[in-house]
Structures are given as structure tokens and as C-alpha cells.
Structure 1
């Protein structure tokens, strides 16, 4: 990048750079984000009547393209440049256009001065740097391979098997000896005493099973294999056993990545899984739409069901039916004594449609009953998590009659609890963030002190650093969740380098090129969400009831608004009422477009109707705002706002009824990490318009099976929807085409079967990697513990003291 800047300064465009800088200074801003920079550049090109070629292809245009932020300090400008995904360079441009490269520390000091102009604290803050601790792990080189960590790790491990075969085969041998189920030895017994003997016995066992009928059940030849040193776990038939032994034989003789993954993915080593999701109202009925309760609950419940099914299948294929193996999945969440009519006050609840999947609710310790007996906002939850993890460990050990095999954290608080549990129980830890608040709230780290009373970001961001670095592997729903796009920073990438003025500097917060990151998108529950055309699977009475509720039912207790013309095409959205989900933005977009109102009705399913019914401050603000927009644009007769909580069955049917009316689903979030409602609407056959900020970019293929919108540009959003509606009116087949393409997209890529098969493969491979490199991770974990006890815990204790008086 320095070469580009130098070329620019040595070219005729130097005067253009000077003029552009002058335009920046006239803005009277200190901090320019990417959109600001592009807008100023566009205005500059227009003002000086620059050619189209200059605007897009000049040296200055290239510099603007790669510039992520510009900070103005005194007469100097700091350019934060992102030459490629997951990398950053920083340059200071002086008033006389001299260029100096800046260090990360200098950049963080400069950012601090923006906040503390009169009290700069340069040089006396804690610096956090996780970089040196990743030398135990191989790193990916090409940014396009980020998120494919398991593929890279397989290549690395198989190369080690070749380079240092003695040591790594010893590791593999010792790893195979570990596995048991309820005290019964699996895979190999102590009859096989070394990895050399293992290699010999594998060939003997192969010769034996290849002589048996392929479909002969394992129990028929079990004792023959045990005499050779092979315990249950190799297969349920002679053919399956032969396949597994053959893969191991190949792995020993000529290892390669595919063989390694194929073998380890068959090892029966996971029977007991914990999914940690502490905050919000976690239940199966009557909870969706409550504060902090939405897609995450749906995700975790569906994941639990699918994991149990996959674990049962894996155990059957491994030949463990004779051991009466019963895999168990526990969703660990919080017990809320004052449960407001939900089942959130029940300690144990079986997950519907499963044999052995449970919701285990553990209460918070009673520091102050006014807080701990009631729902607590996710932003206030932090002081209780350490003691919650200690209490949860006892409950989990009792339920499992031992320890689990895998712990999966969800969201920032769940991931911190997963870290504490995994550290105490020495179990493989997986993180799933869903969404990281740091990306949602602009300048949330820079101005954390101003936001601390409301959001407590110092605790949240510290918890994120702890959990994401401690995790054995991290699952994201999309690639951009990790490292963004060529012109936007990813959620995890935003933790690479940042400051929290007066608290600490993060010089290197996460190794983005670590193989711990894997993209594994979720599925959609096909029992509830399926195409509207599958009329044989729909219940007519449900369809009629939902149709009446959406368009005509008069029930002021839970529905606001009566439609003048219920037959207009429905423009539909369903989400929590919070600022990020931006339903008020969609209402304003609708209100500002008479043409959209002419063609469509706006139907919103969103939380509460009245401020006094809500306990969430952000929801209260959005309720007031939505009423104001309805009055401001006189949307009476054109909008329906349903403050209802839907069962899964009704939630699925609501999309199909919208599809019956050839409606449209709009997801207008200011940022969406993934977007389960997008999958739900698409599989139902509803053409979907979704935010271009976040995960929808990877779900939807624009204008093929859905459409992108910029929810901050209301006029453009309205125009895109109107264009679609107009095309549908002129060509009735157009709606059907997009509808069918939406359905096909989900079935090809986003099923829970694909998700859970991949997740369990990852858990096994990272379990092997963790076993092989455990000693090398200990220094990282000690560093993380220091961060927890010296930064997180004192701040959590301070917040707890504040809670005593509420």
C-alpha cells in the first residue's frame, strides 16, 4: 500500500489528493468511516467534474477504495487501509503530504486522544496481545481459506504423520485408547500395547472381516475381534467394520487429509453434548418475541434435536447398539422463578420430539431477589456467570453421571460460561457467537465509558476476547461473520485491534488465520417450515385462523390497525422490536412511499403493543417510535401490527399464508449476523428482501432467489420493492420464479442434517488436535485466566454491587 501512496504523491494527482483532503477538513469531523469517505470522494469528483475514469480508476480512487477509516488530528490525517481481507496498514499523512507508517500502538493512542483530548493517557494502559500464543498452531496463509479451518488442519496433521510418523502415530494410538462409554472400553483394548502392534493387528482384523458376509451384524463376530484387541466401535456390520479398519490402515501407511478426516469422523467419542444459552427466556412455547429471545432459541432447539438424531445414527453405525448407548443433549439455560406464565421456572424440560434431549435450567444465586428472581437483560447478566458456571457444573455432572464430551457456547455470555465449564471439566469447547455486539453499535469500544451504564461493553468485549481465544474451534454461519467482505470488516476481525480508552489496548485480539474458524451455516426446521405448495401437509383450520389473524381479526388486546383493503399484496416482516432489527425503519420506508402504500399493506409481527407491557428499554423506545411513524405518515388502514407470540406451528404457517397471497418478506435489520427468518421465509416460498449488511449476502443470490436492500436508504429500498411488485403485476410468473428459486436455495445448502454432520466431524477432529497439542495451549489458557481474574471479575463484582440496590 505504501507503494500506491508513493505513486500517488509522485503523480499529477498529488494536487487532487490535496484538494480531497481540503474537502475532508471542511466536513468538521474528526472520524470518517468508509461510507463517509466514499461520500466525500463522490462529492469531490462531482464538484470538480472529474471524468468517470478518474472517479473509478485513478491512483486516488484506488487509495479511497482500500481506505477503511480516516482520522483527522490537528494538521495530520491518519489513513487506516485494508489492502486485503483480514489485514490492516496505517499511515500518517502530514500537512505537507509526507507519509509515515504508524504502529498499532500509535494508532490506538491516537484513537484514545479523540475520546480523551484533555486527559491523554499514552503509554500507561494494559496491552493485550494474543499473537505469541498461537505459535502452537499452524496458520492459514490465503484469506479465502479462512473459515475452512478443518480442511487446513487435516492437511497439517496428515503432513505431520508423514514427517514425524513415529510421534504422531503414537499420539493416534494413545487417542484411540482413551474412548469409553459408561466404563466400557471402545475401539482398542490393552491387548494392543503399541502403535506398531496396532498396525499389525489392523491387517489381521481386515483379513478376518473381509471373509465374512458384508451384512453380517457386528454381534456375530464381536468376540473374534475382541480376541485381536478390537473393542466395539468399528462398525455395525462386517462391511462397515471393514471400511473403518481399511481407512485406519491407509492412514497408518500413507496419510492424507481426506483419509484422516474420514477416519476421525467415524470415531465414537461424542455421546453427551451441552449447548449453553443462558440469557433470555429459553423455552419451547410462549417465549419468542420476548426481550432477548428470538432466533437463537430457535437455532439451539433445532440444533439439539438434529444433534441427538445424528448421535443416534453414529452410534448405530459404529455397532454400539449392544451397549445400549443413549446419546444425551442438554441445553443449559437459566431458571427464571418469576416465569410470567412460561415454563422457564421448571428445572428440567424434555425437548419435544426427542428421546433424550433436555432443557436444564439452573438458577442464579440470590444476591438480590429483585434481580435474580426475574428476567435480566443480556447487558446486565455478566456478574452472575462465574457462580452460574460453578453451579451448572454440578448439575451437568449429575445429569450426565460424569462429564460431557463437548460444550457448545452460544452468544457472548454462553461462550464465557462454556469457557469456564470446559476449563474446569477439561472438555472440548466450541463457540458460536450468532452476533457480536461490537459490530452492532458504532464506536461501542471507543466510547464504551459513555455507554457503560446501559450496555456494560467493557464486560462483554472482555468476555468475547476470553471465549474466542479459549475455544478449541469456532463456528460461524458465514464467511463475512469472520472477516467481512473486501469493503467491510468482519465481526471477529473487529476484535483484531481496538482500544477501550482508560481500560486497555488490544494490539492483537484474535488470530484470524487460525484453523479454529469454520463456516457451518444452520439449517431450518423442515417440520414447521416448508413450501406453501405442500398443501397435503397443511392444516386448513390453521390456515384460515392465521389468515384471519393477519388480515381481518379485530382484537385490540394483541392487534393494532384495521386494513382498508385486506386484499392488497402483503409486505410482511417478523422480528423483535429493537433498534438493530429496524422494524421502525421498514415502517418509515413504507410511510415515505405513497406508491408502495398503493400496492401493498404492511404487516408486522413484533413484540408488545404497549410500553407498559415491556420491561426492555430498547423495546419501549421502538414501540413509541412505531406509533409516532404510523401517525406521522397517516398509515391507518394500511398497516397491521400484531403483538402476538406464535407457536412454531403458527410461525411456519404465517409465512405460507403470506405466500398464498403472493406476498413479500422484508428483513430490514441494520445488521444481521445470519438471519434464520430469511431461511424460514425462503423455504416457505416467500420472495425475500433482506439487509445487505451481514449474513444475508451469503444466503441470498441477488435477483436470483431474493434481493438485497440497504435499510439505511429508505427511498432505494422502496424503489426495489416497487420494481419487483410491478414486474409481478405485468408477469404473474415472475413471483413464482423467485419463489421456487428461494425454496431450492434452502434445500441445497441450509439443512440441519448438513450442519450437525459437519459439527460432529469438527468436534472429533479438534478433540484429536487438542489431545495432541494440549501442553502447548496451557500458556494461552493461563493468559486468558489472568484476563478473566484481573479485568473481567473485578468489573463484574462492581456491577453486582450496583445490582444489590435495585
Structure 2
């Protein structure tokens, strides 16, 4: 990038740079983000009557395109440039157009001064740097391979196996010896003592089983295999055992990445899983739409059901039925004594449709009953997590009659609990963020002190740093969740380098090129959400009842608004009423477009109808705003607002009823980490318009099976929806075409079967990596513990003291 700057300075564009900087100085903001910079540059090009090519193709145009931020201080400008994904360069431009590179430390100091004129003295501020801990682990080189960590790790491990066969075969032998179930040895016994014996006995066992009928049950030749050194776990039939042993034989003789993955994925080593989802109202009925309760609850419940199903399949295929192996999945959450009619005060609840998946609710210790007996916002939850983890450990050990094999954290608080549990129990830890608040709230780290009373970001961002670095592997739903796009920073990437003024500087918060990152998108519950055309699976009474609720029922207690013409095409959206979900933005978009109102009605399923019914400040603000928009644009007769809580089956049917009426689904979030409602709408057959900010970019293929919108540009959004609607009016087959392609997209890519198979494969491979790598994680974990005890815990204690006076 320095060459590009030099090219500008060595050409006629130097005067353009000087003029552009002059225009920047007139800007009232000292801190400009990418959109601001592009707007100012656009204004400059227009005012200077530059040709269109100058904006995109000139050296200066390219520099501006790659510039993420510009900070003005005195006569200097700081350019923060992102020349490629997961990369950052920083330069200072002086008034004389001298250019000098800046260090990360200088940039963080500059940001501090911008906030509060605070000039850190040497030694004043804690500097966090996780970089050295990744120096001894393999790292990916090419940014396009970020998120494919397990593929890289398999290549790395198989190359090691090839280079130093003796050592790695010894590790493999020891790894195979590890596995037990309830005290019963699996895979190999003491008859195989050396790697040479392993290799010979594998070939002998292959010859033995290949002579038997491929469908012969394992139990009929179990004794003969045991005499050769092989215990249960290789397969349920002669054919399956032969297949597994052949993969191992190939791995021993000529290691290759796909062979390694194929073999380790079959190793029976995971039977007990904990899914931590700590905050919110976690239940199976009557909770969705409550504060902090939405997509994550749906995700975790569906994941638990499908993990249990996959584990049961794996047990059968491994030939372990004779040992009475019973996989168990526990969703760990908090118990809420004042449960408001839900089952959130019930300690143990079986997950519907499963044999051995449970919701285990552990109460918070009663520091102050006014707080701990009731729901607590995810932003206020931090003081209780350590004691919750300690108490949960005892409960989990009792429920499992032993330790779990895998702990999966969800969201920032659940990931911190997962770290604390995994550290104490020495178990593989997986993190799933769902959403990292840092990238959702603009300048949330820079102005954390102003936001602390409401959001407590100092605790949340510290918890994120702890959990993401401690995790053995991280699952994201999309690639851009990790490292963004060519012109936007990813959620994890935003933790790479940042400051929390007067608290700490993060010089290197996470290694984005670590193979711990894996993209594994979730599925959609195919029992509840399926195409509207599958009429044989739909219940006519439910269909009629929900159609009435959506379009005509008058019930002031849960429905606001009466439609003048219920036959108009419905624009539908369903989400919590909070600022990020931006349903009020969609209402305003609809209100500003008379043309859209001519063709369509707007129907929203969104939380509460009354301020006094909500205990969430953000929801209250959005309720007030939505009423204001309805009055301001006189949307009476054109909008329906349903403050209803839907069961899973009703939630699925409501999309299908909208599809019956040839409606569209709009997801207008200002930012969406993934977007489960998008999958639900698409699989139902609804043409879907979704935010271009976040995960939907990877779900929808624009104009093929859905459409991107910029929810901050209301006029453009209205135009896109209107164009689709008018096109469908002229050509009804167009709606059917987009509907069909949306359904196909979900079935080909976003099923829970794909997700759970991949997740369990990852858990086994990272378990193998931790065992064989001889990597000493203890230094990293001690560093993380220091951060927990010296930064997180004092702040949590301070917040707890505030809670005790409420």
C-alpha cells in the first residue's frame, strides 16, 4: 500500500490528494469511517468535475477504496488502510504530505487522545498481545482459506505423519488406547503394544473380516477380533469394520488429509455433550419474543436434537449397541425462579422429540433476590458467570455420571462459562458467537465509558477475548463473521486491534489465520419449517386460524391495526423489537413509499404492543418509535402489528400462510450475524429481502434466490421491493421462480444433518490434534486466567455491588 501512496505523490494526483485533504479538514468529524470517506471523496470528484473513472480507477480512488478510517489530529491525518482481508496498514500524512508508517501502539494512543485527550504515559496502560501464543502453532497463509481450519489441520497433521512416521504412529497408537465408555475399553487392547504390531494386526484383521458376509453383525465375530487386539468401536457389521480398518491401514502406509479426516471422524470418542446457553428465557414454549430470547434458543434446541440423533447413528455404525451406549446432550442454562408462566423455573426438562437430550437449569446464587430470582439482561449478567460455572460443574458431573466429552459455548456469556468449565474439567471447548456486540454498536470499544452503565462492554469484550483465545475450535456461520468482506471488517477481525481507553490496549487480540476457525452454518428445523406447497403436511385448521390472526382478527390485547384491504400482497417480517433488528426502520421505509402502500400491506410479528409490558429498555424505545412512525405516516389501515408469542409449529405455518398470499419476507436488520429467520422464510417458499450487512450475504445469492437490501437506505429498499412486486403482478411465474430457488438453496446447503456431522467431525479432529501436537497450551491458558482474574473479575465484582443495591 505504501507503493500506491508513493505513486500518488509522484504523479499529478498529488494536487488532488492535497485538495481532498483540504476538503476533509472542513468536515466536522475528526474520525471518519469508510462510508463517510467515500461520500467526501464522491463530493470532491463531483465538485472538481472529475471523470467517472477517476473515482474508481485513479491511484487516489484506489487508496480511498481501501481506506477504512481516517483520523484527524492537529495538522496530521492518520489513514487506516485495509489492503486485503484480515490485513491492516496505518500511515500518518503530515501537512506537507510526508508519509510515515505508524505502529499499532501509536494508532491506539491516537484513538485514546481523540476520545478524552488522554495521553498515556509509558507504562500507564495494560497491553494485551496474544500473538506470541500462536507462534508455535500452524497458521493458514491464504485469507480465502480462513474458516477452513480443519482442512488445513488435516493437511498439516498428515504431512507430519509422513515426515516423522515413527513418532506420529506412536501418538496414533496412544490415541487409540485412550478411548473408553463407562470403564469398557474401546478400539484396541493390550494385545497391541507397538506401532509395528498395530500395522500388522490391522492387515490381519482386514483379511479376517473380508472373508465374512459384509452384513454379518459385529457381535458374531467380536471375540475373534478381540483376540487380535481389537475392541468394539470399529463397526457394526463385517463390511463396516473392514471399511474402517482399511482407512486406518491406508493412513499408516500413506497418510493423506482426507484419509486422516475419514478415520478420525469414525473414532468413537464423543458421547456426552454440553451446550451452554446461559442468558435469556431458555425453554421450548412461551419464550420466543421475550427479551434476549430469539434465534439463539431456536438454534441451540435444534442443534441439541440433531446432535443426539447423529450421536445415536454414530453409536450404531461403530457397533457399540451391545455395550448399551446412550449418548446424552445437556443444554446448560440458568434457572429463573420467577418464571412468568414459563418452565424456566424447572431444573430438568426433556427436549421434545429426543431420547436423552435435556435442558438443565442451574440457579444463580442469591446475592440479591431482587436480581437473581428474575430474568437478567444479557448486558447485566456478567457478575454471576463464575459462580454459575462452579455450581454447574457439580450438576453436570451428577447428570453425566462423569465428565462430558465436548463443551460448546453460545454467545459471549455462554462462551465464558464454557471456558471456565472446560478449564476445570479438561474438556475440548468449542465457541459459537452468534453475534459479537462489538461490531454491532458503532465505536462501542472507543466510547465504552459512556456506554458502560447501559451495556458493560468492558466485561463483554474481555470475556470475548478470553473465550475465543481459549477455545480449541471456533464455529462461525459464515466466512465474513470471521474476516468480513473486501470492504467490511469481520466480527472476529474487529478484535484484532482495538483500544478501550484507560482500561487496556489490544495489540493483537486474535489470530485470524489460526486453523481453529471453521465455517459450519446451522440448519433449519425441517419438521416445523417446510415449503408451503407441501399441503399434505399442513393442518387446515392451523392454516385458517393463522390467516385470520394475520389479516382480519380484531383482538386489541395482542393485535394493533386493521387492514383496509386484506387482499393486498403482504410484506412480512418477524423479529424482536430492538434497535439492531430494525423493524421500525422497515415501517418507516414502508411509510415513506406511497407506491409500496398502494400495492402491499405491512405485517409485523414483533414482541409486545405496550411499553408497560416490557422490561427491556431498548424494546420500550422501539415500541414508542413504531407507534410514532404509524402516526407520522398515517399507516392506519395499511399495517398490522402482532404482539404474539408463537409456538414452533405456528411460527412455521405463519410463513407458509404469507406464501399462500404470494407475500414477501423482509429482514431489515442493521446487522445480522447469520439470519435463521431468513432460512425459515426461504425454506417456506417466501421470496426474501435481507440486509446486506452480515451473514445474509452468504445465504442469499442476489437476484437468484433472494435479494440484498441496504436497510439504512430506505428509498432504495422500497424501490427494490416495489420492483419485485410489480414484476410479479405482470408475470406471476416470477414469484414462483424465486420461491422455488429459495427452497432449493436451503435444502442444498443449510440442513442440520450437514451441520452436526461436521461439528462432531471437528470435535474429534481437534481432540486428536490436542493429543498429538504436544502443544503446550498451559502458557496461553495462564495468560488468559490472568486476564480473567485481574481485569474481568474486579469489574464483575463492581457490577455485582451495584446489583446488590437494586
TM-score band, normalised by shorter chain: over 0.9
- Provide the residue aligned with 1:295 in structure 2: 295
Deviates more, 1:353-362 or 1:200-209: 200-209
Contact 1:278 1:413 in 2 (8 A): yes
Q: Measure how far apart 1:93 and its partner are.
A: 0.3
1:349 aligns with 2:349: yes
1:143 aligns with 2:143: yes
Q: Measure how far apart 1:172 and its partner are.
A: 0.9
Distance 1:32 1:122, change over 3 A: farther
Superposition map of 1:135-214 within 5 A: 135-214=135-214
1: CA distance, partners of 2:177 / 2:211:
27
- Please list the CA deviations of residues 315-341 of structure 1 after superposition, one character each: whole Å capped at 9, or x if unmatched: 000000101111000000010000000
Contact 2:383 2:800 in 1 (8 A): yes
Contact 2:112 2:118 in 1 (8 A): no
2: CA distance, partners of 1:170 / 1:505:
43
RMSD: 0.7
- Provide the residue aligned with 1:660 in structure 2: 660
SS of structure 2 residue aligned to 1:69: strand
- Provide the residue aligned with 1:525 in structure 2: 525
Distance 1:805 1:171, change over 3 A: same
Contact 1:136 1:776 in 2 (8 A): no
- Provide the residue aligned with 1:33 in structure 2: 33
1: CA distance, partners of 2:211 / 2:382:
60
Q: Measure how far apart 1:775 and its partner are.
A: 4.6
- Provide the residue aligned with 2:384 in structure 1: 384
SS of structure 2 residue aligned to 1:70: strand
1: CA distance, partners of 2:76 / 2:128:
27
- Provide the residue aligned with 2:624 in structure 1: 624
Q: Measure how far apart 1:535 and its partner are.
A: 0.3
1: CA distance, partners of 2:489 / 2:754:
28
TM-score by length of 1: 0.99
Contact 2:112 2:119 in 1 (8 A): no
Q: Measure how far apart 1:169 and its partner are.
A: 1.1
- Provide the residue aligned with 1:114 in structure 2: 114
Superposition map of 1:210-249 within 5 A: 210-249=210-249
2: CA distance, partners of 1:146 / 1:294:
29
Ranges in structure 2 where 5+ consecutive residues have no aligned partner: none
- Provide the residue aligned with 1:131 in structure 2: 131
Q: Measure how far apart 1:773 and its partner are.
A: 3.1
Superposition map of 1:569-718 within 5 A: 569-718=569-718
SS of structure 2 residue aligned to 1:136: coil
- Please list the CA deviations of residues 463-482 of structure 1 after superposition, one character each: whole Å capped at 9, or x if unmatched: 00000000000000000000
- Provide the residue aligned with 2:792 in structure 1: 792
1: CA distance, partners of 2:120 / 2:543:
63
1: CA distance, partners of 2:91 / 2:775:
39
Contact 1:136 1:773 in 2 (8 A): no
1:513 aligns with 2:513: yes
Superposition map of 1:272-671 within 5 A: 272-671=272-671
1: CA distance, partners of 2:758 / 2:308:
14
Q: Measure how far apart 1:198 and its partner are.
A: 1.0
Distance 1:185 1:682, change over 3 A: same
- Please list the CA deviations of residues 93-135 of structure 1 after superposition, one character each: whole Å capped at 9, or x if unmatched: 0000000000000000000000121555565110000000012
Contact 2:728 2:734 in 1 (8 A): yes
TM-score by length of 2: 0.99
- Please list the CA deviations of residues 332-352 of structure 1 after superposition, one character each: whole Å capped at 9, or x if unmatched: 001000000000000000000
Contact 1:445 1:457 in 2 (8 A): yes
Q: Measure how far apart 1:196 and its partner are.
A: 1.9
2: CA distance, partners of 1:646 / 1:774:
50
Q: Measure how far apart 1:226 and its partner are.
A: 0.4
Ranges in structure 1 where 5+ consecutive residues have no aligned partner: none
2: CA distance, partners of 1:586 / 1:367:
42
Contact 2:109 2:119 in 1 (8 A): no
1: CA distance, partners of 2:401 / 2:363:
20
1: CA distance, partners of 2:778 / 2:149:
21
Contact 2:385 2:413 in 1 (8 A): yes
SS of structure 2 residue aligned to 1:776: coil
SS of structure 2 residue aligned to 1:63: helix
- Provide the residue aligned with 1:755 in structure 2: 755
Contact 1:121 1:502 in 2 (8 A): no
2: CA distance, partners of 1:131 / 1:509:
8
2: CA distance, partners of 1:121 / 1:446:
18
1:46 aligns with 2:59: no
SS of structure 2 residue aligned to 1:515: coil
- Provide the residue aligned with 2:738 in structure 1: 738
2: CA distance, partners of 1:90 / 1:124:
23
1: CA distance, partners of 2:599 / 2:82:
43
Contact 2:67 2:79 in 1 (8 A): yes
1: CA distance, partners of 2:596 / 2:567:
14
Q: Measure how far apart 1:651 and its partner are.
A: 0.1
Contact 1:684 1:743 in 2 (8 A): yes
Q: Measure how far apart 1:72 and its partner are.
A: 0.5
2: CA distance, partners of 1:151 / 1:84:
22
Contact 1:32 1:70 in 2 (8 A): yes
SS of structure 2 residue aligned to 1:45: helix
Q: Measure how far apart 1:771 and its partner are.
A: 1.3
